[in-house]
């Protein structure tokens, strides 16, 4: 069986409203999934993490029971993704029976094979992060997570433990033999340092509260992180739908924020190996969107409302900005002024003006009909462009992919400026004018195809203005052949610019 392309986001902790950081990761996954679908089979999973102390506390503060709290918040996350044109294949909630049933099955399987055992845990616990910390990791007696830094408390309770220490050496060997399975390199190096220090078994149950998946046979609830990690396989029907599971597992790309790399690159593969399953092909721990040098997030009180950004700039412009502004994997700063500048300069002046000028001239000189291709070698210059763009996307180099695409945008604009269609028309050089107009229209067709994963709505609008109805999301290998735009195609330019110039005031 040929494996499909399987991309996941972290499931998002539902103790508050979504912010732009959540949209960022999910948009990246959407770009990967859309590109993978042009090659064949792809599956894109996202969802919400709904158990744990923080969710219970947030619900209590709102005067609600935890399930009602979650049920009221989940539509906000789905609306966020819809606003950004995200097309996921499955949205999993950890309170769903399909997930809870299989999490309990995993717990029983690991208990049967001896990797889960009963003991007593004593240690420092951060209730905000729902994480136990060694005393050596604390910073001035506080949680070492830079996003948190809250006081920790000493807990002592009976607990179920996972034998993580058993997998210390296998993990070291896996990291050494698969040096690119964790990216970027900074995340890989950080995890290697943890492995070289040595791992301890870790607690996977909680007895102090009851908002979680009950442990089979009693004894508390399953630790929220152990529960949450399993969503990536429960959504595929692990142990119940073997054909579907084998079709997509191991995951091709698992996207996470860098602050949760330890769970996904140390604990997660160990759990999988204990189940007899393979580790993901790639876990990518991306950087943060920052504002005034701080990560944007609920806990810092500087969360940016993504719905407001959509209303101001449009979803596709925000998608473009997030993937063009910084190298994926690194932190990058956000401001509305930066968004407005890229919107007006690159989207409005470069791309939007190219489409408008081309179709306006085509209407003036050829009644909006695409002419026959002429004697030109313009297309030969870009024969390898689709391959370079696709490779950059699958290598998670989204900024590089967009820069490659913009080479064609710039080249088409130069053709207009240098060859001056209006001069050719005045001189009566019809053959040269036909050749130029065809190259411009065909180049725009290529742009629509390559931009579709990044800006699906605007790419669709370009496609329709070219008079095309099908083929935008087809195989690049078949679609991106120069000369594919049929002569005499009737174009349908819009009176509304693709990216109307922004006049809003930004700080």
**pLDDT digits over 52-88, tens only?**
999 999 999 999 999 999 999 999 999 999 999 999 9
Residue 209: per-residue pLDDT: 87
**Does the structure show a pLDDT above 80 at 121?**
no
User: Which of 79-83, 122-126, 318-322, 417-421 is least confident?
Assistant: 122-126
Tokens for 224? Answer: 């929220």
HEC string of 249-310? CCCCEEEEEHHHHHHHHHHHHHHHHHCCCCCCCCEEEECCEEECCEECCHHHCCCCCHHHHH
* Segment 15-25 mean pLDDT: 90
Residue 139: per-residue pLDDT: 86
**pLDDT digits over 240-251, tens only?**
999 999 999 999
CATH topology classification for 335-479: Isoleucyl-tRNA Synthetase; Domain 1 (1.10.730)
**pLDDT digits over 332-384, tens only?**
888 899 999 999 999 999 999 999 999 999 999 999 999 999 988 899 999 99
Residue 506: per-residue pLDDT: 47
Beta bridge partners of 333: 290
User: Which of 130-134, 248-252, 323-327, 446-450 is least confident?
Assistant: 130-134
Q: Where are the domains of the chain?
A: 335-479
Residue 128: per-residue pLDDT: 75
- Residue 29: band (very low, low, confident or very high) from pLDDT cuts 50, 70, 90: very high
**pLDDT digits over 155-171, tens only?**
777 899 999 999 999 99
- Residue 297: band (very low, low, confident or very high) from pLDDT cuts 50, 70, 90: low
User: Which of 210-224, 297-311, 415-429, 480-494 is least confident?
Assistant: 297-311
Residue 501: per-residue pLDDT: 95
- Residue 504: band (very low, low, confident or very high) from pLDDT cuts 50, 70, 90: low
Closest C-alpha among 302, 248, 299 to residue 278: 248
**Does the structure show a pLDDT above 90 at 294?**
no
* Segment 140-157 mean pLDDT: 82
* Cα end-to-end span (Å), the chain: 54
Tell me how many degrees the CA angle 157-162-164 measures, rounded to the nearest 5: 125
More confident residue, 339 or 151: 339
Mean pLDDT for the chain overall: 93
Closest C-alpha among 119, 165, 149, 153 to residue 300: 149
**Does the structure show a pLDDT above 60 at 132?**
yes
Residues 6+ apart with CB under 8 A from 453: 30, 31, 32, 34, 35, 393
**pLDDT digits over 166-205, tens only?**
999 999 999 999 999 999 999 999 999 999 999 999 999 9
- Buried/exposed 82-98: b ≥16 CB within 10 Å, e otherwise: ebbbbebeebbbbbbee
């Amino acid at each position: 069986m040929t494996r499909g392309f399987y991309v996941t986001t972290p499931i998002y902790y539902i103790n508050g409203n979504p912010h732009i950081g959540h949209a960022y990761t999910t948009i990246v996954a959407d770009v990967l999934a859309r590109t993978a679908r042009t090659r064949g089979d792809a599956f894109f999973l996202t969802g919400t993490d709904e158990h744990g102390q923080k969710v219970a506390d947030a619900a209590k503060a709102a005067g609600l029971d935890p399930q009602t709290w979650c049920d009221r918040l989940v539509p906000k996350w789905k609306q966020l993704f819809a606003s950004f044109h995200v097309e996921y294949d499955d949205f999993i909630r950890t309170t769903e029976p399909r997930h809870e049933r299989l999490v309990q099955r995993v717990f029983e399987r690991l208990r049967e094979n001896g990797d889960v055992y009963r003991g007593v845990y004593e240690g420092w616990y951060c209730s905000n992060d729902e994480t136990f910390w060694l005393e050596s990791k604390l910073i001035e007696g506080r949680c070492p997570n830079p996003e948190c830094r809250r006081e920790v408390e000493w807990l002592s309770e009976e607990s179920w433990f996972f034998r993580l220490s058993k997998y210390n050496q296998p993990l070291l060997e896996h990291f050494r033999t698969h040096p690119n399975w964790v990216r970027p390199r900074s995340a890989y190096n950080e995890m290697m340092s943890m492995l070289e220090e040595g791992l301890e078994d870790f607690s996977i149950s909680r007895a102090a509260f009851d908002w979680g998946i009950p442990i089979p046979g009693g004894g508390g609830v399953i630790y929220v992180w152990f529960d949450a990690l399993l969503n990536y396989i429960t959504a595929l029907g692990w142990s119940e739908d073997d054909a579907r599971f084998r079709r997509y597992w191991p995951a091709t790309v698992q996207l996470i924020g860098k602050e949760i790399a330890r769970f996904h690159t140390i604990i997660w593969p160990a759990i999988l190996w204990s189940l007899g399953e393979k580790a993901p092909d790639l876990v990518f721990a991306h950087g943060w969107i920052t504002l005034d040098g701080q990560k944007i997030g609920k806990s810092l009180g500087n969360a940016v409302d993504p719905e407001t950004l959509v209303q101001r700039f449009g979803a596709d412009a925000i998608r473009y900005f997030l993937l063009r502004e910084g190298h994926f994997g690194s932190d990058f700063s956000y401001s509305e002024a930066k968004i407005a500048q890229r919107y007006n300069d690159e989207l409005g002046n470069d791309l939007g003006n190219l489409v408008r000028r081309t179709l306006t001239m085509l209407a003036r000189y050829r009644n909006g009909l695409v002419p026959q291709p002429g004697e030109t070698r313009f297309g030969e210059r870009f024969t390898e462009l689709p391959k370079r763009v696709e490779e950059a996307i699958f290598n998670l180099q989204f900024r590089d992919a967009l820069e490659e695409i913009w080479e064609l945008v710039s080249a088409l604009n130069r053709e207009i400026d240098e060859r001056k269609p209006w001069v050719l028309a005045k001189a009566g050089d019809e053959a040269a004018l036909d050749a130029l107009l065809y190259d411009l229209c065909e180049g725009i067709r290529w742009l629509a195809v390559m931009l579709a994963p990044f800006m699906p709505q605007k790419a669709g609008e370009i496609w329709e203005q070219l008079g095309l109805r099908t083929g935008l999301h087809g195989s690049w290998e078949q679609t991106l052949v120069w000369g594919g735009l049929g002569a005499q195609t009737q174009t349908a330019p819009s009176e509304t610019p693709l990216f109307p110039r922004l006049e809003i005031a930004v700080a």
